């Protein structure tokens, strides 16, 4: 079972990454066929049901943000993410310095760039692994906007200025003015708060981009020609 493998500390490296990718695909299929959800959840062990449900609900919220299908693939480069342990150390460094719980930072990183896989501008011009607008980075960032550690610290600094950790709803809404976005981040964060090992699965999620023929995988090494 995917969830069992993801939680097994002996499953590491490429095998763990593949389990995370398969988990992502399974969740996506369940979101395509929501009528399957109740029967699938009922068949799961108690210890994994809440995490799966939280991830599915987060995905549902993010799908509400979908606009028109792009006509072309993005001007991005897809790179390998930093390691699970390195990224976790950056999240926890930011948590120690700014009081923003690590799982909120991981949730932002996951949603914005799939843990730093995407290198390139958003449609609005946001940059880097935590997707800062240049003006916001000038106020709250230090170092390199494209560096995971610097960007994660910058995100925590910005969230603290916006009301975190006392009011995460307010702080996350300041990060992106969409309630569906905020809902999704909180759902992913709650999964990782309750089950920290869930982060291991999320780290394996890949970049899929919408097209008229359905989502297309942009693998590590992909660059628009």
- Supply the pTM of this predicted model: 0.97
Over the chain, what is the mean pLDDT?
A: 97
Q: How far is CA 154 from the centre of its chain?
A: 17
Token pair belonging to 33: 């066929």
Measure Cα distances from 223 to 100, 112, 126, 162 in Å: 34, 18, 18, 35
Phi (first) and psi of residue 15, to 5 degrees: -65, -45
Evaluate if residue 199 carries a pLDDT over 80: yes
Catalogue all structural domains in the chain, each as residue range(s) with its CATH number.
Answer: 2-218 (1.10.530)
Residue 57's pLDDT is: 98
pLDDT > 80? residue 207: yes
What band does 157 get if pLDDT is binned at 50, 70 and 90? very high
Is residue 171 pLDDT above 90, yes or no?
yes
Q: Is the pLDDT of residue 118 over 80?
A: yes
- Find where tokens 């609900």 sit: 57
pLDDT (mean) for 86-103: 99
pLDDT over 70, % of the chain? 100
pLDDT at res. 225: 78
Radius of gyration of the chain (CA): 17
Tens digits of per-residue pLDDT, 42-90? 999 988 999 999 999 999 999 999 889 999 999 999 999 999 999 999 9
- pLDDT interval class at 92 (50, 70, 90): very high
CA dihedral 217→207→7→33, nearest 10 degrees, is: -70
Is the confidence at residue 166, as pLDDT, over 80? yes
Q: Judge whether 78 and 117 are in contact, CB under 8 Å.
A: yes
pLDDT at 1 over 80: no
């Amino acid at each position: 079972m995917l969830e069992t493998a993801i939680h097994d500390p002996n499953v590491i490296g490429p095998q763990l990454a593949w389990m995370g990718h398969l988990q992502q695909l399974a969740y996506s299929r369940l979101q395509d066929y929501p009528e399957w959800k109740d029967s699938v959840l009922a068949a799961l062990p108690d210890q994994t049901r809440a995490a799966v449900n939280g991830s599915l609900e987060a995905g549902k919220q993010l799908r509400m943000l979908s606009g028109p299908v792009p006509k072309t693939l993005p001007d991005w480069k897809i790179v390998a993410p930093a390691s699970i342990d390195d990224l976790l150390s950056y999240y926890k460094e930011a948590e120690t310095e700014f009081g923003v719980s690590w799982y909120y930072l991981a949730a932002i990183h996951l949603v914005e760039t799939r843990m730093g896989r995407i290198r390139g501008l958003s449609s609005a011009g946001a940059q880097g692994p935590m997707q800062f607008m240049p003006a916001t980075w000038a106020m709250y960032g230090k170092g390199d906007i494209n560096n995971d550690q610097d960007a994660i610290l910058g995100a925590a600094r910005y969230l603290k200025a916006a009301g975190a950790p006392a009011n995460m709803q307010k702080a996350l809404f300041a990060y992106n003015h969409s309630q569906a976005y905020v809902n999704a981040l909180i759902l992913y964060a709650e999964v990782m708060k309750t089950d920290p090992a869930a982060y291991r699965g999320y780290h394996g999620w890949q970049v899929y981009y919408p097209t008229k023929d359905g989502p297309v995988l942009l693998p590590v090494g992909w660059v628009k020609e």
